[in-house]
Structure 1
Amino acid sequence: MCGLRTCFLCLVVAFCLLFGVSHATNESVCVLSDAPQQCSAFCLGALHPLCDQYAKSKQKEEIVKMIAESRAEQMELVNDMVKLTADSRTEQKKLANHSQEAMEKLIADSQAEQKELVNRSQEEMVKMIADSRTEQKEAMVKLIADSRTEQKEAMVKLIADSQAEQKKLLNVLAANITSTASKLESTLQEMPSTLLPVLHIGSRYYFIEYKEKSMTDAEKTCREKGGQLATFGNEDEFEAVTRNVNIYTYFWLGYRRNSKGEFETAAGNKGSFMKWESGQPDNIAGKENCVFLFNSHMYDWVCEGTYSFICQLDAV
């Protein structure tokens, strides 16, 4: 379309030029003062928009062509990408199948090796246990034999040492009995009549003193005589003493209350036999820390009172 317009304009320009020259020749009258320049300017003015439109049309065609070519290239690139993806998936699938087969083979081989190793370990363990049992049995037999020999030798030595120690102890015991009997006889001879009567009960001697003294003085008197205030190991000793004293006399006994509230002897031993009166010990005001005997029963009492007392002396 643009080409037809251009051709038409060219024809118009040619016509104008010819028409102007003709009039100038024949009639010496020129319609246009400068026909070539004026016609050229007119034609250029008329052709300029057409040229611009033509240039834009050509540019548009080139753009459309470039877009088409770009789309074609993009489609080709997409197709290549799709093909590459399909090929990659195929390769991955092949690789996965191959890896799975290799893994299954590897697992099977590993299991077989483990089974073989377990069987071999079991056989070695059975052999090791058998060897260990044999060694243990031999060692045990040897140990028992050695132990019996050592025990026999130790027993013979122990019996010999024990017999020697027993002989020494018997000699010491005999000497102690002789010394104790001499001391006891001397004590009895030196003892004033106020300590009579003397009771021999079991392995002990009990001295009944009717002279009244404080608890502290009574303890001191008994120590000076080689004994201590009386305590009782059992009911037989207690009954034997109470049958031989005035039951209506108060007698200090060798018990004191300790920090725990328990009664113990001068040696720090807990009283093994104590026959309390009903309601005793009552520890009135928390000060009754000593014990006296009255009417065949025991009472707790303050230690400041003065009463008769009973001493004891062990025979051995």
Structure 2
Amino acid sequence: MFKWASYFLCSFAVLASKGSWATLQDNNQTVCILKDAPNQCGSFCLSALDPMQTNLDAIERKQGVITSQLWALISRQDVQQKSLPSLDYELRRHTEMQEKHISHLLAVQSEMQALQKEMLHSILDVYKKLNAHQTLVQESLDKSITKEVFENRLEGVDKQLLTIGSTMAILMSRSVDQPHTVQNQSLQSPQASLQESLSEIGSEPPQFEQIGSRHFFIEHNLRLNWTMAAQRCRQIGGHLASFQNRLEFNAVTAKLLTGDVYYWIGMNDLGQEGQFVSVASGNPVAFFDWGYGEPDNLGGNHDCVDIAHAKMWDSKCADEERFICQSDNEV
């Protein structure tokens, strides 16, 4: 194809040259007549065809790219056509599962409605029975005692309750001042039992000693959990201790036993995690001196604060440890 194009262009050049030669003859000018056009015009024709050849190459490359893209599209189409049956199967399967699920939901809804009706009937039956029982009780009361007698008896019971409450208040106040004077075995309420247990712990209330500007009591022997330690401090007229500054903290820790010996103090975050308050004043704690990595709330139940190695640690409130009391409720 390239050879024929070369011949064509050379022939065109010869004709053009002949036309020019004829024109030049009329003007009495001399020209070079081509005797071997293919050989004499080869270079010219090649130079003239070079851009065309370049364009043809570019077109062929583009055609190759388009052909590749077309084959890719055909292949993709084939894959999609092959996957259509599986997609159709999955769609039918999903539709069947959805229909089964809807049927199951409808069945459950029907069962729930039936249970609701049954529960409603049961509640109505119970309500009727209660009304009937209430009527019988009222009739029995009306027959047994009059309204006036019932009110008089109720008033007497109220007076007895007030008397018992006053007596308990007096006994509780006495038990705080003198732990061994209250031994009444007839009052077995939880508070009385707790107070009686604490009364058996020690004899006379210990003496507070002045450390810095305040008074503290340090229990080196008895070990209690945090709640019982707080109750013991209240029993002797104080509270579990908190500290107002480092000077006071250092003065107290200097009197503690060394080593792995822990002392409860009056700080906890039982109300809100991370918000430590003083059990004595109910205010946020004024001074901390935590150990390394503390407070870590290890296990999610370290809510009470103790002292060891002259540092503060958060520990389980159920642990039994020594404790420190303060005489005031200002800190």
TM-score bracket relative to the smaller structure: 0.3 to 0.5
**Looking at CA atoms only, which structure, 1 or 2, has the larger radius of gyration?**
1
Q: TM-score, normalised by structure 1?
A: 0.37
Structure with the higher fraction of residues in helix conformation: 1
